[in-house]
Structure 1
Amino acid sequence: MARKLVDDELWEIIQPLLPAPRRRKHHPGRKRLDDRQVLTGILFVLQSGIPWEMLPQEMGCGSGMTCWRRLRAWQKAGVWKRLHEVLLAKLRGAEKIDFSRVIPGSASVRAVHGGKKTGPNPTDRRKAGSKHHLLVDAQGIPLNVILTKANRNDVTQLMPLLDGVAPIAGKRGRPLRKPQCVQADRGYDSNKHRQELQRRGIRHQLARRRTAHGSNLGKTRWVVERTLAWLHQFRRLRVQYERLSSMHEAFLRLACAIICWRVLKNSFC
């Protein structure tokens, strides 16, 4: 089980990013569970969608609460964000990043227990929900992801998605910082954003509202829909169960990193 979820190559990348555990001199308590075993449990919950308390003990990953605490600690330490950045750099080194254009997209999910980043979902009879905002490159590689309330308009997250992409290294010379073009559907129609993209020297192809269909953007921006489908193959992301939005964000960023890893290892067609 551990080899399938956390293989040796992936572990070599993740291990240096994990913070060193604190030494407890006066009250050491039980021996700390191995980080790799705990990560296996976290990935099992992410992929299967099971509740933390139902994590199989025979996996040797400790209790669900142990995995939950470790996930929260690593999220606070920025482990998943750094892991995503490292894998993007490796993808660029392997010539698998195409910055000729980037494409934003979003998908709404139901929120069971509510929370700060939940709101009435206009596509689900105003039930509580959240929205995953995703930015991908021309090949569908996830570059950035943001969690918001379900009633936040897509266009409000366009610039935060762009600004949140860390410079992508992986090659000699300057890291990738600015895409050549942004392509988006009618949900991102905004003259203000067109002007801002133009000011930054970024070409834009934003479909306009109240115009006849036939923008032909679907021929190239379908990759973001495919990556959203990949993202929601992780069953824990199909519904937001976490009361703390930071925990769901940790799962989101970890899932993006795993997608990058699978692309790097040619696990996707």
Structure 2
Amino acid sequence: MIWRCGVARRKSWDADDELWAVIEPLLPKVERRARHPGRKRHPDRLVFQGILFVLHTGIAWEHLPQELGFGSGMTCWRRLAEWTEAGVWPRLHEVLLAELRGANALDFSRAAVDGPHPRVKGGPKTGRSPVDRGRAGSKHHLITDATGIPLAATLTGGNRNDVTQLIPLLQAVPPVRGKRGRPRRRPDVVLADRGYDHDKYRRRLWDLGVKPQIARRSTEHGSGLGIQRWVVERAFAHLHWFRRLRIRWEIRDDIHEAFLSLACSILCWRRLKKLRAR
């Protein structure tokens, strides 16, 4: 089977001790009942690795390999839903961003935004996609710092214009701690392509204290923004390397958003590990 080749090559879904030390305190504590406790709860760490396995491979929950010890696909799905409801994934992302800022790895001098379309099978936050013959679709919206670290990601229907999500995306950036003083939330400059060209939203960015650098429609290509804005396109390539994000299989939008947030956290963790390895 294909996943067996992946096991032999690498186990990218393994939660190493350092990552687990960050995640475990964020998980809700579940006390086992003294009377009629029922079956013992499957270990959280193994279940989390099962969730990572699905995120990486895109495999259906019911096909999750039992021999890898993750528990059943339904167990992993229920735990994912439980942790999503408890707000684990945004907190994980915020913690990792704080560690990156503390290591001087976050650059808020500018940020870049973009919003491509993954394929979708249905559910809330879908709409007729103008780039896929009017089929139902969703959009991932992403904002990164100047180096391509994901600051926030959101999900909307495929019929939502990119520019309408510019302010909500900026507001989705959490308060990033990691240094003395007030947390940082706003970049100094936002870079965007022609899809975000609208003077109304330029004014709204100025009102938030952010300088807009947005390419103008009906002008020749070669604005020069691509020299700096390519980092968000690279970040999307890294996000969509997670097979579960290439096609939206989840009917529940909150579950797909959980995968999206978790993937952003994994990218942050990889950058943090590279810094620690130096």
User: Is the pair's TM-score, using the shorter chain for normalization, greater than 0.5?
Assistant: yes
Which residue of the other structure, out of 239, 262, 269, is the alignment partner of 2:270? 262
Which residue of the other structure, out of 157, 161, 165, is the alignment partner of 1:153? 161
Residue 188 (structure 2) aligns with: 180
- Determine if the alignment matches structure 1 residue 40 to structure 2 residue 49: yes
Residue 235 (structure 2) aligns with: 227
Q: TM-score, length-normalised on structure 2?
A: 0.93
How far apart are the structure 2 equivalents of 1:164 and 1:144? Answer: 6
Offset at 1:123? 1.0
Which residue of the other structure, out of 90, 98, 103, is the alignment partner of 1:94? 103
How far apart are the structure 2 equivalents of 1:177 and 1:257? Answer: 17
Q: How does 1:104-123 map to 2 (within 5 A)?
A: 104-112=113-121, 114-123=122-131
How far apart are the structure 1 equivalents of 2:213 and 2:31? Answer: 50
Percent of residue pairs bearing the same amino acid type: 61
- Determine if the alignment matches structure 1 residue 164 to structure 2 residue 176: no
Residue 213 (structure 2) aligns with: 205
Q: Is the contact between residue 13 and residue 49 of structure 2 (CA under 8 Å) also seen in structure 1?
A: no
Listed one character per residue, the Cα deviations across residues 172-202 of structure 1 (whole Å, up to 9, x for unaligned) are 1222122111110001011111111112221
- Determine if the alignment matches structure 1 residue 191 to structure 2 residue 202: no
Q: Is the contact between residue 13 and residue 52 of structure 2 (CA under 8 Å) also seen in structure 1?
A: no
Offset at 1:232? 0.3
Residue 61 (structure 2) aligns with: 52
Moved over 4 A (4+): 1-4
1:107 is paired with a residue whose SS is coil
- Amino acid of the residue matched to residue 59 of structure 2? I
Q: How does 1:66-105 map to 2 (within 5 A)?
A: 66-105=75-114
- Determine if the alignment matches structure 1 residue 216 to structure 2 residue 263: no
Offset at 1:204? 1.2
Q: Is the contact between residue 139 and residue 158 of structure 2 (CA under 8 Å) also seen in structure 1?
A: yes
> Which one is further off, 258-267 or 78-87?
258-267
How far apart are the structure 2 equivalents of 1:255 and 1:201? Answer: 29
Q: Show structure 1 runs of 5+ residues with no match.
A: none
Q: How does 1:125-140 map to 2 (within 5 A)?
A: 125-140=133-148
How far apart are the structure 2 equivalents of 1:141 and 1:43? Answer: 20
Offset at 1:238? 0.3
Q: Is the contact between residue 45 and residue 52 of structure 1 (CA under 8 Å) also seen in structure 2?
A: yes
Offset at 1:3? 8.5
How far apart are the structure 2 equivalents of 1:204 and 1:123? Answer: 26
Which residue of the other structure, out of 135, 138, 152, is the alignment partner of 1:144? 152
Q: TM-score, length-normalised on structure 1?
A: 0.96
- Amino acid of the residue matched to residue 168 of structure 1? V
1:223 is paired with a residue whose SS is helix
Which residue of the other structure, out of 238, 251, 262, is the alignment partner of 1:243? 251
Listed one character per residue, the Cα deviations across residues 89-140 of structure 1 (whole Å, up to 9, x for unaligned) are 000111110000011111101112x111111111111122111000000000
How far apart are the structure 2 equivalents of 1:201 and 1:109? Answer: 32
Relative distance call for 1:191 and 1:173 in structure 2 (3 A) is same
Listed one character per residue, the Cα deviations across residues 51-89 of structure 1 (whole Å, up to 9, x for unaligned) are 000100011111000000000010010000000000000
Residue 3 (structure 2) aligns with: none
Q: Show structure 2 runs of 5+ residues with no match.
A: 1-6
Offset at 1:4? 5.7
- Amino acid of the residue matched to residue 264 of structure 1? L
How far apart are the structure 2 equivalents of 1:101 and 1:53? Answer: 43
How far apart are the structure 2 equivalents of 1:23 and 1:261? Answer: 32
Offset at 1:26? 3.7
How far apart are the structure 1 equivalents of 2:12 and 2:252? Answer: 30
How far apart are the structure 1 equivalents of 2:14 and 2:20? Answer: 10
- Amino acid of the residue matched to residue 145 of structure 2? D
Q: Is the contact between residue 110 and residue 127 of structure 1 (CA under 8 Å) also seen in structure 2?
A: no
How far apart are the structure 2 equivalents of 1:206 and 1:3? Answer: 37
